[in-house]
Amino acid sequence: MKGSYFLVIWLDEDKRIKTKRKTFELKKGYYVYVGSAMNSVEKRVERHFKKEKRSHWHIDFLLKESKLLSAYLIPCEERLEEKLSNELSKFGKAVKGFGASDLKISSNLYYFGRKEPNEALRDILKKLNLTWKIVKNRDEIKNLEGRK
């Protein structure tokens, strides 16, 4: 399915995350990453749950150093990444320059500190009248794909 997604990430200590061209100083805590996959959101999110992969996007470098707790799969024909990021910026602090180079926003990654972000994510999705499915690992995604 086409759609967008949130990744809920836990970083267990302050870390310096180096990507191909940038370095980000990230603090311990919860982060939420916003993405879109207009071919297959399931395949994209399944890739994010893999630990062994070639690092391509900024998020790949962060996921090597953190724990991906869950993902919200948001089916939609429209690319919602920018709209979701704008809403998320009301709850979390943007990590300037992380992802989003192809959008009119400053970031696709938001810091929530020690505050667990799931309530804010559900509020955003309800406000935008969107449906979603939460998955916590690759097997749950495969089970979704098997039901098609």
Residue closest to 6 by CA, chosen among 119, 144, 143: 119
pLDDT tens track for 80-90: 988 999 999 99
pLDDT at 148: 40
Instruction: Supply 64's token pair.
Output: 């090597």
Q: How many distinct structural domains can be found in the chain?
A: 1
Domain that holds residue 132: 3-146
Please say if the pLDDT value at position 147 is more than 60.
no
Q: Strand, coil or helix: what is 70?
A: strand
Give pTM, 2 decimals: 0.93
Token pair for 112 = 């929530």
E-strand ranges in 1-148 read 3-11, 15-18, 23-26, 29-37, 67-75, 93-94, 109-113, 133-135
Tell me the per-residue pLDDT of 7-26, one tens digit each, with 9 for 90 and over. 999 999 999 999 988 999 99
pLDDT tens, position by position, 99-134: 766 657 789 999 999 999 999 999 999 999 999 999
